[in-house]
Amino acid sequence: MTTDANMVAVALPTRRERRLPTRSGKSYFIRTFGCQMNEHDSERIAGLLEADGMNAVASIDEADLVVLNTCAIRENADNRLYGNLGHLKADKDARPELQIAVGGCLAQKDRTIVRDRAPWVDVVFGTHNIDRLVSLLDQADEWGPVTEILDESSSVPDLPAKRDDPHRAWVTIMIGCNNSCTFCIVPSLRGAEMSRRPSDVVSEVRRLVADGVVEVTLLGQNVNSYGRDLDLGGRKPLFADLLRQVGAVEGLERIFYTSPHPKDFNRDVAEAMAETEAVCEHLHLPLQSGSDRVLAAMHRGYNAERFLGKVEMAREVLPDLALTTDIIVGFPGESEDEFQATLDVVAASQFDSAFTFIYSPRPGTAAAGMVDDFIDPDVVRERYLRLTGLQDEISFDKNKATVGQTLRLLSGGPSRKDDAVTSGRSRTNKTVNVAGSVAAGQLFDAEVTIAHPHHLTGRLV
């Protein structure tokens, strides 16, 4: 569907453009599913709603507007959305003035299905038009339910974000993905790659630092192809250049980024990481599988040997590097030997931690058509447990190896479980709980005293 929003805007300015807050004093609640890009989109949705005079509340019961920002990466994400929409029907029946908006990747994918299955939803919007949400809510107020899904973005949206954490921020450097991993639905939902100009990224980071932010995470589905779509007077900026430029912003202490693609991750980027003090010793390099046949069937563009070569190169350039990954178990046709190859690469890579997923067929993707090769769910579950068992051991060993080390931590304030304990995060992205009080946003040193399977305990030094 396309929109004539611009024509409408010329003929009749929206209320937002007239700067008359339409929902002053009303409240909103946003529930977010999915990845960091979605989390960040939700911050921008919150920014738009606050600019319109609304306030955040902590539960659906208190809200005049509920926004569900959805994910479609695996099937259980779909099921969770439709479960949530079922509960919201009861709220809407009890309070007909409650507005419900559904956006994000699943709305983009299911378009009319959301409306058909949940006619009580007021606004369905997609991944390319979050900036239109307030206008769409106005439209729904006046004319009844509305669906607006655009097929592509015209630019990377520059919207005010309302952040929950005053010291850490996400910064979008690019949207979309030009790869064609056969299991993945993201390219069809987020469109083609589009990079922000380096000067725009750097200005945003400067503004954030002036606002008290000390750590940023640069976001893109495939950050190593950053800049390929830009033309800065005949020159294309590279991700390595961007890291250096962001790293030069005064007052910025830490930079993380996600995700690089192993096929494009190169020595230039590793060297830029090593040379740029603010860039942290952390790399998320998604393996997916350790079998060359499966990797080829996934269209990943590398084999096990090349992956291990990248790991070796990264550790050579960045000796203190912590490495994390994503792995899929049960891709169509995965044999026991092929699964074993994944275990072998996991053992050889010694990841600090891994996000492990059971393959979930996504409509419209190439792998979803390989129905004859789908693996028995019991076999997949058993493999999944073997993989997580192995990775848990490695993660625990990696944590044990840090005992006695002094780590530089960024305080996140009191830990959730105990006010007398400060929860800090290392440059390797590990959580370290330390007795005592360090104000959120402060950097401090702690010696690791105890290793736990998924976090560390330390003492202030």
The first and second tokens of residue 56, run together, are 């955040």
Whole-angstrom Cα distance, residue 445 to residue 458?
9
Cis peptide bond prior to 423, omega within 30° of 0: no
Q: Look at residue 187 and give the partner it binds from ligand SF4, ligand F3S, ligand SAH, none, a contact being a CB closer than 5 to 8 Å depending on partner kind.
A: ligand SF4
Q: Which of 362, 398, 425, 430 binds ligand SAH (CB under 6 A)?
A: 362
Alpha helices by DSSP H, 248-361: 267-275, 292-297, 304-317, 336-349
Residues 6+ apart with CB under 8 A from 111: 1, 124, 126, 147, 149
If binding is defined by CB under 6 A, does position 177 make contact with ligand SF4? yes
Whole-angstrom Cα distance, residue 156 to residue 159?
9
> Smallest distance, Å, CB 292 to ligand SF4?
17
> Smallest distance, Å, CB 328 to ligand SAH?
5
Whole-angstrom Cα distance, residue 47 to residue 260?
28
If binding is defined by CB under 6 A, does position 63 make contact with ligand F3S? no
From 15-23, 54-62, 189-197, 355-363, span contacting ligand SAH (CB under 6 A): 355-363
If binding is defined by CB under 6 A, does position 221 make contact with ligand SAH? yes
Whole-angstrom Cα distance, residue 104 to residue 16?
22
Q: Which of 5, 29, 35, 457 binds ligand F3S (CB under 6 A)?
A: 35
Q: Are 209 and 162 in contact (CB under 8 A)?
A: no
> Smallest distance, Å, CB 122 to ligand SAH?
29
From 3-11, 334-342, 353-361, 415-423, span contacting ligand SAH (CB under 6 A): 353-361
If binding is defined by CB under 6 A, does position 108 make contact with ligand SAH? no
Q: Which of 221, 225, 391, 423 binds ligand SF4 (CB under 6 A)?
A: 221
If binding is defined by CB under 6 A, does position 114 make contact with ligand F3S? no
348-407: contacts with ligand F3S (CB under 6 A): none
The first and second tokens of residue 355, run together, are 């996000």
SS3 36: helix
From 65-73, 158-166, 267-275, 399-407, span contacting ligand F3S (CB under 6 A): 65-73
If binding is defined by CB under 6 A, does position 448 make contact with ligand F3S? no
If binding is defined by CB under 6 A, does position 326 make contact with ligand SAH? yes
Burial class, 245, CB count within 10 angstroms (exposed 0-12 / middle 13-18 / buried 19+): middle
If binding is defined by CB under 6 A, does position 190 make contact with ligand F3S? yes
* CB closer to ligand F3S, 190 vs 427: 190
Q: Which long-range contacts (CB under 8 A, 24 or more apart) does 184-187 make?
A: 184/73, 184/362, 184/365, 185/72, 185/73, 185/105, 185/109, 185/362, 185/363, 185/364, 185/365, 186/73, 186/105, 186/221
Q: Are 3 and 153 in contact (CB under 8 A)?
A: no
Whole-angstrom Cα distance, residue 4 to residue 216?
36
Interacting residues toward ligand SF4 by CB under 6 A: 177, 179, 181, 184, 186-187, 221-222, 261
Interacting residues toward ligand F3S by CB under 6 A: 34-35, 37-38, 71-73, 105, 186, 189-190
Interacting residues toward ligand SAH by CB under 6 A: 73-74, 183-184, 186, 221-222, 259, 261, 286, 288, 326, 328, 357, 359-360, 362
